[in-house]
Every structure is written in C-alpha cells, then in structure tokens.
Amino acid sequence: MTLLAMAAALSLGDIYLQSLVPTSGAGIDAVLDGKIDTGWKPEGTPIGEGITFRFEEPVDVKSVEVQGCAGSETAELDLVFDGFRREVTLKDGKGKTSPSFKWRTLFLKVESGSGCIAEVNFTGLAGNVKPPRTVHGKVSVSSVLTPADAYHPGYMFDGRLDFGWVEGSKGTGEGEWLTITLDAPATVSALEIWNGYQRSPDHFQKNCRPKKVTLSIDGGEGIALELADRDGPQKLPLPKAVKGSAFKLTIDEVVKGSKYTDMVISEVRFHDEQGPLEIDTDDVKERAAALKTEVSGKPLEALVGARMTSVCPEGQLTVKLRSNHTFAFYEDTTRGSVSINEVVDGAWIVKSDKAIELFGRRQKISVDDRPYGSGTRETVQITGGPVNVTRVKDLGKDAYAKLLEKWKKGPAKRHVGCAGASFDAAGDAVVLEGVALTGLVTVR
C-alpha cells in the first residue's frame, strides 16, 4: 500500500447526502444500508418512478453500482447525472455505469422491471455514502395558502427544492413565522435556507421571498439574519452555536414577487457541529394517508399511483398522480417540423369526485432541426388549474359523443382519432380535460 492509499484508507468516513428523495414509496434509506435483503420499491406502477440522490458538493465517483432486489434480476434504468442520461441494464440483478465527470445530483429512474432497488453503491469516494442525518420534529406556521396540500410547511423539509411552504395571510409575508420544535435538542451553528419558490425561475420571480428574518431559540433573544435575493441554498451562520429545541423564525422583511403576494420558503436545514441536519416531520406522511382516505371507494382511487397512457398511439401522453400529492406527466407532440417534449410536474389535490387541480411547472423542449430552424429551445413556466377526470363509461354515450366532436376540431384530436377511442372500446379509459392537461388515457 502506498502512503497515499494508506492516507485515503485512514480518512474513510461517512459522506452524508444533502437529499435522498424517492418519487414515491417508503423506506428509501434501505438503498444505502449495505444489505441486499432490504430495498426500496415505488408505490403503484414502477415505470417512471425513481430516486434523487443529491450531494452537498460535486463528487467524482469511479462508478455507480446498482443492485436490484431478489426478483428484479433484469431491469432497465436511466441514471441521470446533473441532466446527463446514462442507460443501465440490470443483469442478474446488477448493473453499473461510470460517469466521467463531476456531478452533484443523480436521478435514478426505473424504465422497466419491478422497480425494487436493494442497494446503490458509489465507488471511488473517500467514505461511505449515507442518507442525510435527521432529527425528528414538528413544524407550525402562522398561516398556509389554500390548498394546504400544495403548500403546507412540511414541504420545507421534504428534500425537494420544487416544493415549499407558502404563507396565506393578506399582505406579502412580513410578520409571518414558522416554529420548528425538535424531539431532542440540537446545537445549531447555522441555518441553511432555499429562499423563495424554487420550482422554476418563473415561480421565484413571481412570488415573495424573505429578506430579513429573526431567529429565536427557546424563547431567547432574537438573532437578526439577512438572506440574499437568489435561488439555490444559502447558509446563514449564527454568531455562535446555540443549543435548543424550539426554533422560531420570523419574517421581518421580504422582496416582493412580480405577480403574487405570497411569501415562499422552499427548504430549511440546520447545521450542527457535525454538518447539515435534516428535520424529519410527519406532515408529508400524514397528508398521503389523508389522500388515500379521501379517494377511497371513488373512481380516482384506481388512478392514484397508476401509470396512465394515451388510448391512441398518437396521443403520446403519460400521466402519474401519486399519493404523496406529487404528479408528473409527459407529452410529446409534433407541429410541422418541430418536435416538442413536455414534462409537467408539481402538486395535485382532489377538487371533487370528478376533478383534480394541478399546481406545477411546465418544462418544454422544442427541437427544430431544419437547416434554418430554431434548433433546441427550452422553457420552464408556471402551469396548473382544474382538470376534470371522468371515466368514459361514467360520462355516458351522448356526452362522450359530444366531447369527441369538440376534440376532433382542435389539438386534442390526436387523442381520439383511433378505433380504441370509440365509446364501446374506451369504457374504462379516463377523460382528462383542463387547461394544463387534456387527453384520453387508460391505466396500463
């Protein structure tokens, strides 16, 4: 062993991820516990589901090795490193890839197979990769914008940068507060805040974000802190580390949004002497349980967690509504010589037995490859609104015939131009109709 190798071996420690977030499903820490008999499995249809691994700093790994659970001997995965996609095939349950660049965020996406992942191993790092360190606590806030399922304070601690707490009082958020009460006291040396609404630059600009805040620990004297007006994380060191369990953050001054008066914080983390500390709250789990109760016995129940795809091949639409109130849909269209790929994701809520509402962002990539075409263009915008969700058979023959007539005159015609879209063939299919989302889909 060379001196360098010895030094490296001696310095082996644990590397804590900043975030480890599954799109759905519980027990995500099992993919990093070193045991092949424990694993993570998404809820519902596995295709399109996945896990986000985000490191504190860019990493230079030698390889990423994935081990499927027993029964997942073959599967196709996409490993997306900071947006760069590598295909990985599990053979005899194993597969790996070696990104040849530094990256910070990996999205492991299931393309086929059972979706059960037993282990993910990162080689070439000076330590073992671990889930974020956590401390359990409760959060309360001065107000929440309606609907709370889209904006509740638990979203400040869910590891997702695109979900946050949105206050719901009149005004622009000055005087609003949040309190975090930890089960066990922690010695906090800094706060880390993802300021404003970081779902997209559009969301960030249009909503209010804190500028000056006061932190009070266990009712002690307030510590004044100031945030920069930018997205990404920002670490706010305290003048000295303070041990406590009740942390109250009051918003004293905001930067006003260009469109909305709502103030947003996307993510909050503590730092103690060992590094970042994630706060584990029950909000997201409780709301997922409440959603299951809400849709129980209703037509929506069969759709939650299921993968819905277009009835007609030309439709090119895939929709997923998850029980944790997140959704994603993918739509590919062609207009003349321009091909358009759209991904829409965000939060969804139940509006009624026959309608949902979406709150999200639309990421649109259009490609025009003609010699004088506009090339590749990418835009991200706020989108959402109500969407009627009705089974064809519940709509009835006459109403469905009227709908077909209307759709055939517009862009939705590609959803109904095939034999499978006839009333008799499409009985169990679902009509989705709204500004952000329209199509005829079925669970496959």
Chain positions contacting Ca ion, by CB under 5 A: 155, 158, 160, 163, 267
Rounded to the nearest 5°, which phi and psi values hold at 160?
A: -95, 130
Q: Is the dihedral of CA 399, 404, 407, 412 positive or negative?
A: positive
How near is the Cβ of 118 to Ca ion at its closest, in Å?
27
How near is the Cβ of 178 to Ca ion at its closest, in Å?
13
How near is the Cβ of 20 to Ca ion at its closest, in Å?
14
If the CB atoms of residues 16 and 163 are measured against Ca ion, the closer one turns out to be 163
Where are the strands (E) in 392-425, listed by range? none
If the CB atoms of residues 160 and 320 are measured against Ca ion, the closer one turns out to be 160
How near is the Cβ of 220 to Ca ion at its closest, in Å?
27
If the CB atoms of residues 158 and 331 are measured against Ca ion, the closer one turns out to be 158
Tokens coding 71: 């029964």
How near is the Cβ of 403 to Ca ion at its closest, in Å?
38
Q: Residue 84 pairs with which residues in a beta bridge?
A: 81
Helix, strand counts (H, E) of the chain: 6, 26
Supply angle C-alpha 317, 323, 326, rounded to 5: 60
Pairing of strands 134-141, 275-280: parallel
Q: Is the peptide bond before 22 cis (omega within 30 degrees of 0)?
A: no
How near is the Cβ of 71 to Ca ion at its closest, in Å?
33
How near is the Cβ of 197 to Ca ion at its closest, in Å?
10
Q: What is the DSSP letter of 196?
A: B
If the CB atoms of residues 107 and 163 are measured against Ca ion, the closer one turns out to be 163
Give the integer Cα–Cα distance in Å for 133 and 18. Answer: 9
Report in angstroms the alpha-carbon separations of 246 from 16, 126, 217, 347, 395: 25, 35, 6, 29, 52
How near is the Cβ of 164 to Ca ion at its closest, in Å?
5
If the CB atoms of residues 282 and 405 are measured against Ca ion, the closer one turns out to be 282
> CB-based contacts of 306: which residues, under 8 Å, 6+ apart?
44, 45, 320, 443
Tokens coding 344: 């829409």
If the CB atoms of residues 154 and 257 are measured against Ca ion, the closer one turns out to be 154
The amino acid occupying position 260 is Y
DSSP-assigned states of every residue in 231-267 = SSEEEEEEEEEEEEEEEEEEEEEEEPPSS---BEEEE
Where are the strands (E) in 336-429, listed by range? 338-352, 355-368, 375-391
If the CB atoms of residues 160 and 362 are measured against Ca ion, the closer one turns out to be 160
If the CB atoms of residues 160 and 287 are measured against Ca ion, the closer one turns out to be 160
Maximum Cα–Cα distance across the chain: 80
How near is the Cβ of 309 to Ca ion at its closest, in Å?
29
The amino acid occupying position 8 is A
If the CB atoms of residues 44 and 153 are measured against Ca ion, the closer one turns out to be 153
How near is the Cβ of 156 to Ca ion at its closest, in Å?
6
If the CB atoms of residues 81 and 163 are measured against Ca ion, the closer one turns out to be 163
22 Cα distance to chain centroid = 8
Give the integer Cα–Cα distance in Å for 194 and 368. Answer: 35
